[in-house]
Amino acid sequence: MRKLLRYMKPYRKECIAGPLLKLAEAVLELLIPLLVAAIIDHGLSGSDRKPYVIGLCLAMAALGLVGLAFSLTAQYFSAKAATGFAARLRGALFHHIQRLSYRTLDETSTATLITRLTGDTNQVQTGVNLALRLLLRSPFVVFGAMFMAFTLDVQAAWIFVVIIPLLAVAVFGIMLPCIPLYKHVQKRLDTVLGRTKETLSGVRVVRAFRKEEEEIAAFQDSNAALTGAQLFVGRIGALLNPLTYVLINGAILALLWSGAIRVQAGLLTQGVVVALYNYMSQILVELVKLANLIITITKAVACGKRIEAALELPVAADADAAPAPVPGAPRIAFSDVTLQYHPNSRPALEGVSLSVAPGETMGIIGGTSAGKTTLINLIPRFYDATSGQVCIDGVDVQSIPAETLRGQIGLVPQQAVLFHGTVRENLRFGCPEADDQRLWQALESAQAKDFIQQKPGGLDFVIEQGGRNLSGGQRGRLTIARALVRQPAILILDDSAAALDYATEAALRQALSHLPWHPTILLISQRIATVQAADRIAVLDDGRLTGVGTHEQLLATCPEYQAIAASQKREEVPSHA
């Protein structure tokens, strides 16, 4: 938790002023029983004491109003500090997540990160807010009440000396074992959230295979495990209030019993007994508050440690400055590249060496799990090669700052991802300064202009999250247009034409070949029809490069390419391509 406290620095004044004002309110609250005792002992002793009683009542009202002002101001400062702290923490965590490498994201549950950003951060915010308001106030009232009891009657005050340690043992003896249990509850919550996210994301698949009942049963099992963990820790925590009430009420009985005896003997006044009773009641109220505060702080600490662990996830290494390009070097060069996703797994790529010249269109083809996407993920450094080297213009990509490197790459991933917002906002994702003319040019090249013009609002047409209100082909063409808007030096199309018909795909290839800035294009596909017109084609098989050449050369020399061609001979040369 200490590492999180740096996000509190802008709110130092609020963190000091809030507790101090609560202490000032507590001081005023401790004075009230003295005034009550004075009214009983002196104000009710004769008929001429009415002005005295009214004066003390007005004094209590004034103390109450001043205390209310202190309390409201303290709560404002506490809320401001807690809310600002949570906002800064949430922003820092989101920024950190954006910098995580693909490898780290692969190993970290998405549901876990979402929980850290939402539920855990909110719990920490609540804990900070209550801590600033009550962490000093409640113990101050407890020990202040004991001190005031000594000023009234030393013998009766020893009851306070005995009961307060007993209450402390009860409170901390119950709450300390709950800390690891709350961590277990949060892990169960992650499981429930993960299953919920997975089921909602794949709801169409679940319904298509009629697996609703199985998913409901699996969710109920996870939910039951979470409920069981919460009930277990809840039962332990539930012992706190009854135990403290028993101890406090036992102390009150002892106080009233001893007080009655001494009042009858004339050693103590009735007002003092009432004041001592009020102080004991204040201790009861504050200890109940303190117990609930400890529960909240316990949860907040557990959540804070989880957030801290997320902030300690390793981020992708980045270079400081980009070296100058090497004149005459290939635009992209893979030199004996090998990649393992995990140290003990077999290589996804092994010994790949390939170069692509500036302005060249390189097709990359292979079967499922051949390593095509893995290969192109090395170019923008989504993953780093286990061995070997990947260079852009003769410079190792690991020595180029990520912002500079990815700024010259336009990537169209396999899965078309669009965000909620207008067409214009989605197209400007990679180039915020692009004007409408540039957007329409990109749409035209991506074969998306016609259907966007037919949408209400055109560029202002609102796309739902994930492009749910568009067809698969429309989503694919918009993601291609988004990549073209930034006019990248390197354009990577990762099986982006899979949802297009042959006529649209042929028109797209024709448009890409006439782009005015002549980018280096990588066409990744499993279909020969998509890559056969490329300047060269690289064939991958089980992570190895088995052939490089033109369509005709590979048909003559590469067995793997021949096998792909044989399986797709009906699609190799479409009649309308």
CB 360 within 8 A of CB 518: no
Q: Coil, strand or helix: which one is 184?
A: helix
Q: Which residue ranges form the domains of the chain, and what is each CATH number?
A: 2-311 (1.20.1560.10), 319-408+489-577 (3.40.50.300), 414-487 (3.40.50.300)
Average pLDDT of span 514-540: 91
Residue 325 has pLDDT above 80, yes or no: yes
Specify the pLDDT at position 437. Answer: 93
Q: How far apart are CA 524 and CA 376, in angstroms?
A: 9
Specify the pLDDT at position 570. Answer: 52
Confidence band (pLDDT; 50, 70, 90) for 576?
very low
Tokens of 71: 């309390």
Q: Which residue has the higher pLDDT, 434 or 186?
A: 434
Residues in the chain: 577
Q: What is the largest CA-CA distance in the chain?
A: 121
Specify the pLDDT at position 460. Answer: 92
Report which DSSP code applies to 464: P
Q: Which residue has the higher pLDDT, 237 or 406?
A: 406
- Lowest mean pLDDT: which of 156-160, 168-172, 484-488, 509-513? 168-172
Residue 544 has pLDDT above 90, yes or no: yes
Q: How far apart are CA 467 and CA 471, in angstroms?
A: 8
Q: Which residue has the higher pLDDT, 110 or 377?
A: 377
- Lowest mean pLDDT: which of 70-74, 245-249, 272-276, 569-573? 569-573
Specify the pLDDT at position 45. Answer: 64
Q: How far apart are CA 406 and CA 408, in angstroms?
A: 5
Specify the pLDDT at position 575. Answer: 40
Percent share of the chain, pLDDT over 70: 97
Q: Which residue has the higher pLDDT, 283 or 538?
A: 538
Residue 481 has pLDDT above 60, yes or no: yes
Pairing of strands 462-463, 490-494: unpaired
Report which DSSP code applies to 430: S
Query: Cα separations (Å) of 182 from 175, 294, 312, 563?
Result: 10, 12, 21, 57
Specify the pLDDT at position 46. Answer: 58
Q: Coil, strand or helix: which one is 365?
A: strand
Mean of all residue pLDDT scores within the chain? 87
CB 192 within 8 A of CB 220: no
Specify the pLDDT at position 183. Answer: 74
The pLDDT tens digits of the residues spanning 41-92 come to 777 665 567 788 888 889 999 999 999 999 999 999 999 999 999 999 999 9
Average pLDDT of span 450-470: 90
Query: Cα separations (Å) of 519 from 274, 401, 482, 512?
Result: 88, 21, 15, 9
Q: Coil, strand or helix: which one is 287?
A: helix
The closest alpha carbon to 81, from 129, 126, 123, 121, belongs to 129
Residue 483 has pLDDT above 60, yes or no: yes
Q: Which residue has the higher pLDDT, 414 or 356?
A: 356
Specify the pLDDT at position 172. Answer: 75
Tell whether pTM > 0.85: no
Phi, psi of 391 (to 5 degrees): -125, 145
Average pLDDT of span 4-8: 88
Average pLDDT of span 179-207: 82
CA angle at residue 466 from 462 to 472, to 5 degrees? 95
Number of helices (H), then strands (E), in the chain: 23, 12
| Contact residues for 513 (Cβ-Cβ < 8 A; gap 6+) | 361
Specify the pLDDT at position 361. Answer: 93
Average pLDDT of span 300-329: 85
- Looking at the DSSP bridge assignments, the partners of residue 390 are 334
Residue 163 has pLDDT above 60, yes or no: yes
Average pLDDT of span 336-359: 91
The closest alpha carbon to 76, from 21, 144, 32, 121, belongs to 21
Task: Say which amino acid occupies 232.
Answer: F
- Looking at the DSSP bridge assignments, the partners of residue 355 are 333
51: enclosing H helix or E strand = helix 50-98
- Lowest mean pLDDT: which of 281-285, 330-334, 414-418, 516-520? 281-285
Percent share of the chain, pLDDT over 90: 39
Average pLDDT of span 508-523: 91
572: enclosing H helix or E strand = helix 569-572
Specify the pLDDT at position 314. Answer: 84
The pLDDT tens digits of the residues spanning 218-261 come to 899 999 999 998 898 888 878 877 887 788 888 888 888 888 88
Specify the pLDDT at position 47. Answer: 58
Residue 323 has pLDDT above 80, yes or no: yes
Tokens of 142: 């407890």
Query: Cα separations (Å) of 258 from 255, 268, 282?
Result: 5, 10, 19
